[in-house]
């Protein structure tokens, strides 16, 4: 914790140009981004600029949507692992009642573990999916649990405290029990070896057969089979336990519906009111056809400034990519910055028509990509505390093809990352020379934002599937290959003179900053997130390694990318940026072909050959160099606190925002105020 204090103080000093505290106004008070630091995590704050300028009705709308977002928290915890809620309640009980020595090794290990569990919404690392290793003893745990009043424990009916300890101890302490939340390793039953809670008692074969049977051949508007349910086998029968009012997670979903109804009452536009109503209907019935109808209405409503995501959306948590985790995010448009994405999306067809893929895989007519830069107001579910920086929805390919997609760049989040990272010495340690450092200092902020814009609003939306090819044809490699496709589209066009012509880029070297960072990250620095001896698992990391490793090997003859050794340290050097762009284009062509044809075998081969393995020597070197910099490889956020202000008659007069809440404080408040599935 000391390190954290030092870095926060240093940051506050660095950011404060005015040293006379006494005369500072509220606006001049330096905003402290760092909130907490533990294990491999740093927790930051983000600002919500422009909130004060919204209308009262917009603020009220955001407040209700925020509540609808926060109240779904327990769903994700339970989806991630069936023991998560019981473990959280037990750990929080200990944390709040502990009266022993807070400097003891056991307590320090316990506190770190709880902070990790909070951050990951469960006992598995949010990114590596590995179960956390607790640095406190089983005995300490048992002793503390026994010291708690029974009503503060998640005891099942008839369960004794000893039985609870026996039940939870192996889940927490035995590394072989529920070792991985999402297992992607080839050759084993991915369902049985994954600790997530999307399946109960079924094998991978049974899951695949169950959903294969559901598919209607020739259906051009298929629902997202299995998206919002748990697949259960009981008494020999396999059935879906659907997430809905009256079904699985009903107590949480009822509250979501309550707040959505309030939001519908102050919706900005008719279209928004209609899609909120549709979403409520879907939550009440669990009918995935209604979810598609909602998605279409949502994507077509572009008139409102306030917007949100609230539902079962992304399927990274399921090795088969069927089941979606619950997530929520509320935002409002940033009109100035949205100009950039508007220009790009208006030209979507131009990019699509020239993309370096076989013309038959291109979209003949790109449908309404609405891209905007937004200001995040709240993060929840699978977007919290670790958050994406860009979102492109809906996920159903046929809806995207027929109705387009909405793409957003979360600029206040990116901004917080950048501000918090300024001056941490990272580029100085890993970049090849001052030339690359200057490139990144000058152009990376814009290049990164453009990369996100292009990835989200053009990349994911580009291309088309051949008739009869299903969304999930690439199975466990689908996410990796889809992210690679979007990244390659972005990388390829980032270097296109068209961006200068469109006025979004001024200096023709801008793309080089992104290319350099991308290659340095893909081949070296992202390895800081991997523990020694482990493979690359996470889809986005696999995608980056795939792209860079492939480009490195394919460009070897021309020495496009080079490893250079200097003073015992390894650096990457890009010798030919133009050729690298060509390579990105070529790989995009191949991955688009794989996606369009549903060529599972070719996709698997690419992933297995280029995305998973790396040089352990280099890994060790990178970890050593990184450790010296003292930077947390993963970052996430606490939310601001919104308060509804009412007059004596109960009318809403304002919504205020406060940024002072701490990390543990926020987690405990959420557990107290938004407990729905575990009281
Ligand atoms: Zn993506």
Residues with Cβ < 8 Å from 577, sequence gap 6 or more? 495, 511, 512, 515
* 513 CA distance to ligand 1 middle (Å): 20
pLDDT score at 3? 26
What per-residue confidence (pLDDT) applies to 47?
Answer: 96
Q: How far is the CA of 457 from the centre of ligand 1 (A)?
A: 10
572: confidence class by pLDDT, cuts 50, 70, 90: very high
202 found inside a domain:
no
Range 472-488 average pLDDT? 95
Q: From the CA of 313, how far away is ligand 1's center (Å)?
A: 13
Q: How far is the CA of 633 from the centre of ligand 1 (A)?
A: 20
Q: Are residues 83 and 131 in the same domain?
A: yes
pLDDT tens digit string along 485-518? Answer: 999 999 999 999 999 999 999 999 999 999 999 9
Between the CA of 464 and the centroid of ligand 1 the distance, in Å, is 16
Q: Is the pLDDT of residue 26 over 50?
A: no
- Band of pLDDT at residue 28, cut at 50, 70 and 90: low
In this prediction, residue 43 has a pLDDT band, given cuts at 50, 70 and 90, of very high
Give per-residue pLDDT as tens, 408-431: 889 899 989 988 888 889 999 999
Q: Please indicate, yes or no, if residue 656 is contained in any of the structural domains.
A: yes
Measured between alpha carbons, how far is 62 from 330 in angstroms, rounded to an integer?
7
- When pLDDT is averaged across residues 26-48 and rounded to a whole number, the result is 87
Tell me the pairing of strands 237-242 and 306-314.
Answer: unpaired
Residue 241 lies in a domain: no
Q: Are residues 508 and 626 in the same domain?
A: yes
Hey, what are 627's tokens?
């450790």
* pTM across the whole model: 0.81
Q: Are residues 494 and 541 in the same domain?
A: yes
Q: Is 235 a domain residue? A: no
483 Cα–ligand 1 center, Å: 5
Tell me how far the alpha carbon of residue 276 lies from the centroid of ligand 1, in angstroms.
25
| pLDDT for the residue 422 | 80
pLDDT interval class at 337 (50, 70, 90): confident
Tokens representing residue 233 in the block: 């086998």
- Does 608 map to a domain? yes
CA of 549 to the centre of ligand 1 (A): 19
> What is the CA(539)–ligand 1 centre distance, in A?
10
In this structure, the answer to whether residues 175 and 255 fall within a common structural domain is: no
Q: Are residues 417 and 480 in the same domain?
A: yes
The pLDDT score that the predictor gives to residue 368 is 66
Interval between CA 322 and ligand 1 midpoint (Å): 17
How far from the centroid of its chain's Cα atoms is residue 109's Cα?
27
Q: Is the pLDDT of residue 367 over 90?
A: no
Which tens digits make up the pLDDT trace of 69-100? 999 999 999 999 999 999 999 999 999 999 99
Residues 647 and 600 both lie in one domain: no
Residues 20 and 165 in one domain: no
Nearest to 614 by CA among 537, 514, 518: 537
Helices (H), 378-509: 397-403, 411-421, 426-430, 434-453, 478-494, 498-501
Residues 93 and 132 in one domain: yes
383 CA from centroid of ligand 1 (Å):
14
User: Could you tell me the pLDDT band of residue 461, with boundaries at 50, 70 and 90?
Assistant: confident
Instruction: Say how far apart CA 656 and CA 644 lie, in whole Å.
Output: 7
Query: Same domain for 360 and 489?
Result: yes
- Residue 14 inside a domain? The answer is yes
pLDDT given at position 29: 66
Q: Report how far residue 55's alpha carbon sits from residue 53's, in angstroms, rounded to the nearest whole number.
A: 7
321 CA from centroid of ligand 1 (Å): 14
Q: Tell me how far the alpha carbon of residue 538 lies from the centroid of ligand 1, in angstroms.
A: 13
Residues 276 and 139 both lie in one domain: no
d(CA 108, CA 90): 17
* Range(s) of the domain holding residue 159: 74-179+640-673
Higher model confidence: residue 456 or residue 595? 595
* pLDDT over 60 at 24, yes or no: no
For residue 24, being part of any structural domain is answered with yes
- Please give the distance, rounded to the nearest whole angstrom, from the Cα atom of residue 390 to the centre of ligand 1: 8
> In terms of Cα–Cα distance, which of 473, 371, 430 is closest to 569?
430
Q: Indicate whether 176 pLDDT > 50.
A: yes
Find the 460 Cα to ligand 1 centroid distance in Å. 7
Q: How far is the CA of 344 from the centre of ligand 1 (A)?
A: 17
- What integer best gives the mean pLDDT of the chain? 93
- 264 and 149 in a common domain: no
Both 171 and 259 in one domain: the answer is no
Dist. CA 485 → ligand 1 center (Å): 9
Q: How many domains would you assign to the chain? A: 2
Q: Flag whether 232 is in a domain.
A: no
Rg of the chain's alpha carbons, rounded to an integer?
Answer: 25
184-195 pLDDT tens trace: 888 899 999 999
């Amino acid at each position: 914790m000391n390190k954290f204090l030092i870095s926060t103080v240093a940051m506050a000093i660095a950011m404060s140009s005015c040293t006379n505290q006494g005369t500072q106004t509220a606006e001049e008070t330096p905003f402290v981004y760092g909130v907490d630091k533990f294990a491999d995590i740093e927790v930051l704050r983000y600002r919500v600029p422009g909130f004060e300028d919204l209308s009262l009705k917009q603020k009220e709308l955001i407040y209700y949507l925020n509540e609808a977002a926060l109240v779904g928290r327990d769903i994700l915890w339970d989806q991630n692992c069936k023991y998560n809620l019981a473990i959280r309640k037990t750990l929080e009980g200990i944390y709040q009642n502990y009266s022993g020595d807070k400097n003891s090794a056991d307590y320090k290990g316990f506190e770190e573990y709880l902070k990790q569990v909070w951050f990951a919404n469960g006992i598995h690392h949010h990114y590596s999916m590995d179960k956390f290793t607790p640095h406190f003893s089983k005995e300490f745990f048992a002793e503390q649990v026994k010291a708690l009043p029974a009503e503060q424990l998640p005891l099942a009916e008839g369960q004794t405290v000893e039985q609870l300890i026996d039940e939870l101890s192996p889940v927490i302490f035995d590394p072989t029990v529920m070792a991985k939340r999402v297992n992607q390793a080839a050759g084993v039953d991915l369902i049985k070896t994954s600790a997530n809670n999307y399946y109960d008692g079924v094998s991978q074969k049974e899951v695949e057969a169950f959903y294969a049977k559901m598919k209607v051949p020739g259906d051009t508007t298929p629902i997202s089979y299995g998206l919002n349910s748990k697949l259960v086998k009981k008494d020999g029968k396999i059935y879906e336990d659907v997430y809905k009012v009256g079904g699985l997670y009903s107590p949480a979903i009822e509250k979501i519906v309550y707040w959505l109804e309030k939001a519908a009452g102050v919706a900005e536009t008719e279209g928004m009111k209609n899609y909120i109503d549709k979403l409520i209907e879907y939550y009440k019935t669990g009918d995935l056809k209604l979810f598609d109808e909602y998605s279409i209405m949502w994507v077509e409503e572009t008139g409102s400034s306030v917007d949100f995501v609230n539902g079962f959306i992304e399927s990274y948590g399921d090795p088969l990519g069927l089941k979606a985790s619950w997530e929520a995010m509320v935002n409002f448009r940033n009109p100035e910055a949205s100009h950039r994405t508007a220009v790009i999306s208006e030209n979507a067809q131009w990019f699509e028509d020239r993309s370096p893929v076989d013309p038959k895989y291109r979209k003949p007519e790109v449908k309404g990509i609405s891209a905007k830069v937004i200001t995040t107001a709240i993060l929840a579910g699978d977007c919290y505390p670790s958050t994406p920086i860009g979102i492109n929805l809906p996920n159903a390919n046929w809806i995207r093809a027929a109705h387009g997609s909405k793409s957003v760049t979360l600029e206040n989040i990116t901004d917080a990352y950048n501000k918090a990272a300024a001056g941490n010495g990272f580029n100085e340690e890993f970049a090849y020379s001052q030339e690359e450092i200057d490139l990144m200092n000058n152009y990376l902020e814009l290049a990164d934002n453009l990369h996100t814009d292009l990835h989200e609003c053009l990349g994911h939306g580009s291309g088309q599937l051949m008739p009869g090819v299903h969304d999930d044809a690439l199975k466990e490699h689908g996410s990796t290959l889809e992210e690679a496709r979007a990244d390659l589209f972005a990388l390829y066009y980032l270097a296109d003179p068209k961006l200068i012509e469109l006025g979004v880029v001024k200096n023709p070297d801008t793309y080089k900053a992104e290319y350099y960072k991308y290659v340095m990250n893909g081949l070296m620095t992202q390895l800081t997130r991997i523990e020694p001896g482990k493979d690359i698992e996470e889809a986005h990391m696999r995608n980056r390694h795939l792209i860079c490793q492939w480009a490195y090997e394919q460009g070897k003859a021309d020495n496009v990318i080079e490893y250079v050794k200097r003073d015992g340290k390894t650096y990457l050097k890009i010798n030919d940026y133009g050729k690298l762009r060509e390579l990105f284009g070529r790989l995009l062509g191949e991955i688009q072909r794989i996606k369009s044809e549903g060529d599972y075998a070719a996709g698997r081969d690419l992933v297995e050959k280029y995305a998973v393995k790396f040089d352990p020597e280099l890994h060790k070197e990178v970890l050593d160099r990184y450790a010296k910099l003292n930077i947390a490889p993963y970052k996430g956020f606490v939310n601001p606190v919104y308060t509804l202000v009412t007059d004596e008659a109960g009318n809403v007069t304002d919504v205020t925002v406060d940024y002072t809440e701490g990390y543990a404080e926020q987690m405990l408040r959420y557990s107290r105020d938004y407990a729905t599935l575990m009281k």
